């Protein structure tokens, strides 16, 4: 089986989901980030895995379910932090972030028997998942992050290394209020959708 990695920030106001502010307050944005992270971790906990690792910038909270090894993120850019997360793995690993609470155990159950890498492109040009049969941090170092071409550059890096790449479905990250509404509609019974509905009603978002 595979090690499942989640890379995340502690959901504290002003540090996460700043593009949700406005229309939401920093406290609401942090609460939405926490709900997204909690939904994601629950899915990972329900997915068969050799090991589950949370690479965390910050301190664990009550949103962390049992069964996860928590490792601190290293200093540096996102490419360095992602590479360091893979460095904690000794076998096949699949890494995701905290921004796609619509993931399912089926999406995260991967088989490296006929490929060397899995790649999940995000609609914003980045990627929501990266799986490596043989985790090599060098495959990520130097990839420009948080730009429209991030995903394309990362996938080309895998192909240039001679890896057989299998693509996962394209998903939408939660970055803006529009993203949040679209993602919540896909998982209407999750924590994220329920909290978004309450925050929207409280803030008046969507009223005319």
Please state whether the peptide bond connecting residue 23 to the residue before it is cis, i.e. omega within 30 degrees of 0.
Answer: yes
Q: What are the pLDDT digits (tens) for 66-100?
A: 999 999 999 999 999 999 999 989 899 999 999 99
Spell out the SS3 assignment of the chain: CCEEEEEEECCCCCCCCHHHCCCCCHHHHHHHHHHHHHHHHHHHHCCCCCEEEEEEECCCCCCCCCCCEEEECCCCCHHHHHHHHHHCCCCCEEEECCCCCCCCHHHHCCCHHHCCEEEEEECCCCEEEEEECCCCHHHCCCCCCCCCCHHHHHHHHHHHCCCCEEEEEEECCCCCHHHHHHHHHHCCCCHHHHHHHHHHHHHCCCCC
Q: At residue 208, does pLDDT exceed 80?
A: no
How many other CB atoms are there within 10 angstroms of residue 176's CB atom?
Answer: 14
* Mean pLDDT, the chain, whole residue set: 95
Q: What are the pLDDT digits (tens) for 137-188?
A: 999 999 999 999 999 999 999 999 999 999 999 999 999 999 999 999 999 9
Q: At residue 193, does pLDDT exceed 80?
A: yes
pTM of full prediction above 0.75: yes
What angle is formed at CA 53 by the lines to CA 116 and CA 20, rounded to 5 degrees?
95
Q: What is the pLDDT of residue 172?
A: 97
Q: What is the pLDDT of residue 204?
A: 62
Q: At residue 203, does pLDDT exceed 90?
A: no
Report, as an integer, the average pLDDT of 23-50: 97
Q: What is the pLDDT of residue 202?
A: 78
Q: What is the pLDDT of residue 80?
A: 97
Instruction: Give residue 1's pLDDT band: very low, low, confident or very high (50, 70, 90).
Output: confident
Q: What are the pLDDT digits (tens) for 42-52?
A: 999 999 999 99
């Amino acid at each position: 089986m595979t090690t499942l990695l989640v890379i995340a920030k502690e959901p504290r106001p002003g540090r996460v989901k700043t593009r949700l502010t406005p229309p939401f307050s920093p406290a609401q944005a942090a609460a939405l980030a926490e709900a997204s992270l909690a939904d994601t971790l629950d899915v990972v906990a329900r997915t068969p895995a050799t090991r589950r690792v949370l690479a965390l910038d910050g301190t664990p909270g009550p949103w962390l379910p049992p069964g996860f090894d928590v490792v601190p993120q290293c200093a540096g850019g996102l490419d360095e932090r992602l590479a360091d997360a893979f460095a904690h793995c000794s076998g096949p690993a699949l890494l995701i972030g905290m921004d796609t609470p619509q993931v399912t155990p089926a999406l995260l159950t991967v088989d490296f028997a006929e490929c060397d890498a899995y790649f999940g492109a995000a609609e914003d040009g980045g990627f929501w998942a990266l799986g490596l049969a043989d985790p090599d941090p060098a495959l990520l170092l130097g990839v420009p992050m948080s730009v429209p071409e991030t995903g394309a550059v990362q996938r080309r890096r895998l192909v240039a290394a001679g890896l057989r790449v299998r693509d996962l479905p394209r998903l939408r990250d939660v970055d803006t209020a529009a993203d949040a509404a679209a993602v919540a509609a896909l998982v209407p019974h999750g924590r994220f959708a329920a909290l978004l509905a309450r925050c929207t009603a409280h803030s008046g978002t969507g009223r005319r």
